[in-house]
Structure 1
Amino acid sequence: MSESNGEGHRARRRAVRSAGPPVEENATGGVRTVVAKDPAAATETGVADGGTSSVAAEPEVSSASAPVTDDSSVDAAKVSVTKTDAEPDSEATPAEPEGNKRRGVPRVLAAAAAALLVVALVAGAVVSVVATHATHERDQRRAEYVETARQAIVNLTTIRADTAKQDIDRILSLASGEFKTEFDGRVDPFTSIVQQAKVVSSGEIVEAALESDDDRSGRVLVAAKQTLTNAGQAEPQTRYYRFRVTVSRGDSGLSVSNVEFVA
């Protein structure tokens, strides 16, 4: 009887060993608990030596003595890592979208082009104002040269016996340089001749045009007509002259420095 019990006990032990870890007997000798690596051997019950044996499933553990890790802590760590990866730092500066960068470049270029256009317009306006002012000054200077030359020729071709002294003084008021020198020492003799001949002449400008000019002087071509009467002629005579008049700018203003007859 004992041998048969022993054989049955060993057979059951071999069966349990093939399904899982070795059988452990509790201290009482009445109950045996077998922990199986294979989950398929979920529960196995048997009675040996009048006791109860049970087989419980246990996850497979490596034969090496690896530290046991609590599943709950592992899951918490995974959730923490997932949350950290999914939720960016609120203090971090969000990256600018690529589309905004691409749209920003044309805006910058447009702003730069607009600024350059404004600068060009302002510069153009300034240049235009300066050019207009320079043109106005030049035109005014030329007009003054022509007007001075016209007046000098009118004075030179207009003289009367009864106002000879005043007429000569009017000619000298615009004279300078070589033209004025021609009258030096001749004013009195010229006045006497005009008075004795009872000369009456009046001058008229036919045309006048600027030949050349600069800031200091200008040359003006003047065509004039003179109507002359004297004691020896019963009928008035008309004479035409062409002059080249040099007008100079001095400290006292504009004056005629030279008068030449032009054929």
Structure 2
Amino acid sequence: MAEPAAPSGRQLNGSTSVLDADHEADARPTTRLDAVEAGPRNAPRGSRSRAAAIVSAIAALATVAALVIGVAAWNGERNAADGQAAADAARQVATYLTSIKADSADADLQRLLDASTGDFRDQFAQRRDPFVQIVQQAKVSTEGQVVAVGLDSLDGDTARVLAAVHSQVTNSAATQPENRDYRLSMTMQRVDGRWLASAVEFVA
């Protein structure tokens, strides 16, 4: 007697067939995790476009912010370097101005002229010969030392520098050196890349 045919969709040994497995997988309830994973794939095209636009905008803003910070840092470094250069030049001018000797008066005055510009330079240049004669006749000797120097302001190619100077002065009428202290306010002008003194005031 023939055996009954196996039920459709089942293997003879009673295990689940491939067709049944596919049917059971399709019938399995969708979990929340499945919905989350399927979300981006099933998101409307308009939502994906808006998300991409937001990401691009954030990236652009970050790039602009980085450029602004970089430029600001570069300007800060440049200003600091300019201020230091102006202060160093002013220190040298203060030393030249308070260090003059009778036996080298002409050369001493020349180095001051080389570090100056504008009206300040013109005043010394116009009185050069009388100045040198007085220093030589009186046997004047001054030795200046800058005690402190600091940048007061910086505006482009113009800087204002304050300096404290101690000097010892001797001449034909004084047998002992005379100590003198000065407070100078110097206006420094950048000319062809060099910081030169355009004005000097004794403030104390």
TM-score scaled by length of structure 2: 0.71
Q: Structure 2: which 5+ runs fail to align?
A: 1-37
Structure 2 residue 167 is matched with structure 1 residue 226: yes
Counterpart position of 2:151: 210
Counterpart position of 1:131: 72
- Shift of the 179–99 alpha-carbon distance from structure 1 to 2, 3 Å rule, reads closer
- Deviation for aligned residue 1:239: 0.5
Which secondary structure state, in structure 1, belongs to the residue aligned with residue 175 of structure 2? coil
Which secondary structure state, in structure 1, belongs to the residue aligned with residue 174 of structure 2? coil
Distance across 1 between alignment mates of 2:126 and 2:79: 38
- Paired letter, 2:43: R
Counterpart position of 2:103: 162
- Shift of the 250–99 alpha-carbon distance from structure 1 to 2, 3 Å rule, reads closer
Counterpart position of 1:176: 117
Distance across 1 between alignment mates of 2:163 and 2:95: 10
Q: How large is the RMSD of aligned CA atoms in angstroms?
A: 2.5
Counterpart position of 2:130: 189
Distance across 2 between alignment mates of 1:184 and 1:166: 13
Q: Structure 1: which 5+ runs fail to align?
A: 1-96
Q: Which has the higher contact order (CA 8 A, sep 6+)?
A: 2
Which secondary structure state, in structure 2, belongs to the residue aligned with residue 198 of structure 1? coil
- Deviation for aligned residue 1:110: 5.2
> What percent of counterpart residues are identical?
35
Distance across 1 between alignment mates of 2:191 and 2:111: 18
Distance across 2 between alignment mates of 1:223 and 1:178: 23
TM-score scaled by length of structure 1: 0.57
Check conservation: 2:87, 2:161, Cα contact below 8 A.
yes
Distance across 1 between alignment mates of 2:202 and 2:173: 25
Counterpart position of 2:31: none
- Paired letter, 2:180: R
- Deviation for aligned residue 1:204: 1.1
Q: Could you give the per-residue CA deviations for residues 126-164 of structure 1, whole angstroms, max 9, x where no partner exists?
A: 112111111111111211221221111110001111111
- Deviation for aligned residue 1:203: 0.9
Structure 1 or 2: more helix by fraction:
2
Which secondary structure state, in structure 2, belongs to the residue aligned with residue 236 of structure 1? strand
- Deviation for aligned residue 1:196: 2.2
Counterpart position of 1:117: 58
- Shift of the 198–99 alpha-carbon distance from structure 1 to 2, 3 Å rule, reads closer
Q: Could you give the per-residue CA deviations for residues 23-43 of structure 1, whole angstroms, max 9, x where no partner exists?
A: xxxxxxxxxxxxxxxxxxxxx
Q: State the aligned residue count.
A: 167
Q: Could you give the per-residue CA deviations for residues 31-65 of structure 1, whole angstroms, max 9, x where no partner exists?
A: xxxxxxxxxxxxxxxxxxxxxxxxxxxxxxxxxxx
